[in-house]
Amino acid sequence: MSNEKATLSVGGRTLELPVYSGTQGPDVIDVRNLVTEGWFTYDPGFVSTAACESKITFIDGANGVLLHRGYPIEQLANNADYLEVCYLLLHGELPTAEENERFRRTVNNHTMIHDQMSHFFNGFRRDAHPMAIMVGVVGALSAFYHDTMDLTDVHEREVAAHRLIAKMPTIAAMCYKYSIGQPFMYPRNDLGYAENFLYMMFGVPCEEYKVNPVLAKAMDKIFILHADHEQNASTSTVRLAGSTGANPFAVIAAGIAALWGPAHGGANEAVLNMLNEIGDESNVERCVERAKDKDDPFRLMGFGHRVYKNFDPRARVMRDTAHEVLQELGLENDPLLRIAQRLEQIALEDEYFIERKLYPNVDFYSGIILKAIGIPTSMFTVIFALSRTIGWFSHWNEMVSGNYRIGRPRQLYSGYTKRDYPSE
């Protein structure tokens, strides 16, 4: 906290507002008492408002920094695995060897879903978007685990976390299997987290499926790089829904619904759609010129980032991983992927992109990796939701662990003033 005061002159009065300092990032002005003076602040999208205090994730977009509990994302992605990052986000510290083993064993004990839940899928059309199914099925978990309603019980919250971390890959894979008419694959607890997901996605009962370790490693990195991203739209939705005291599974379902939007979780799917629109490597230069023309509706997807005004730190890891996957699968000459590689080359060399810091972001590379692995674009956001669940839960858990208030945003009303119903 700072001893500074901000001075606000309004309506012929001067008010002093407290100024607070975090460990990193801009100072914030406390405007909570303005409402007692008869004023609200106006901030569409809440882009200039700190709605909470958090110790989980810090982003410095100007310098391309992303920290989870103080650890740089690059170090976590290159040295930890996803379950270690889950433990870190949830508990605040990296696990010891004993804690790590116990955490993995506990997660493995929760990978299966209640058999009755498998019947829920039959209520959906086969061509339903997998995100529509995921929203419904994750929300339905609240009907099976009533014990998680006691939000003051630390143990019950921890059990809810274990259930979500463990069951999300199972549910995600079931969404895919249902859409293609294949039988569901039960999880295998002898496999690692990412390995198990790929097994449930691509395995079939009639033959043995061996998970490629290069692909499993790539999938694990995708999970890590999407695990949390501070107070974005879906995380803020989780906090707002959670502030009502709602069941945590319903709260996570709300986060999934927010993530579904193309402006948020659908970015890597938009990258693949763009590559398909370009169509051929010979069209790349012409499409780049179109993208530079502000009067042309064509836009390059997967370049630059709303938060990062420098290179997205996650993209560096994804770029190396993408090349490893393409080499492993012998897909260097895949037509769509060659388009992507040519676009990448132009973006890293063309002064237009360099001056505007329009570097390829994490969505650009993750879309390429997922396509190479064989995951359809309709599943991209589902995998994002699977990855982000631990971030959502950690923020919800942090909120309900302290003193919190129900969210109640204000408005600038611009409708009719009071008027009377017309008499006959």
pLDDT at position 3, please? Answer: 66
Q: Name beta bridge partners: 145.
A: none
CA pseudo-torsion sign 330, 278, 320, 77: negative
Task: Please write the tens of the pLDDT for every residue from 383-406.
Answer: 999 999 999 999 999 999 988 999
With beta carbons less than 8 A apart as the criterion, state whether 107 and 389 touch: no
Candidates 110, 220, 363, 395; catalytic one:
363
Of 109, 112, 130, which is closest to residue 121 (Cα–Cα)? 130
What does the block give as tokens for 43? 């901030």
List Cβ neighbours of 324 (8 Å cut-off, separation of 6 or more): 214, 218
Please confirm, yes or no, whether 226 is among the known catalytic residues. Answer: no
Q: How many CA atoms lie within 13 A of 5 on its CB side?
A: 7
Q: Active site residue: 91, 129, 162, 264, which one?
A: 264
Give the pLDDT confidence score for residue 148 in this predicted structure: 57
Q: What are phi and psi of 392, to 5 degrees?
A: -55, -50
Is there a catalytic annotation at residue 119? no
Is 34 in contact with 40 (CB distance < 8 Å)?
yes
Model pLDDT for residues 57-86, shown as the tens digit of each residue: 999 988 889 999 999 999 999 999 999 999
Determine the pLDDT at residue 415. 95
- Tell me, yes or no, if 363 is annotated catalytic: yes
Q: Which of 68, 110, 229, 305 is catalytic?
A: 305
pLDDT at 399: 96
Mean pLDDT in consecutive groups of 10 residues from the start of the chain, 424 residues: 77 85 88 84 86 93 91 96 98 97 96 91 92 94 79 92 97 95 95 97 95 97 96 95 94 95 77 87 91 87 75 86 92 82 85 84 85 91 96 97 90 93 88
Rg of the chain's alpha carbons, rounded to an integer? Answer: 23
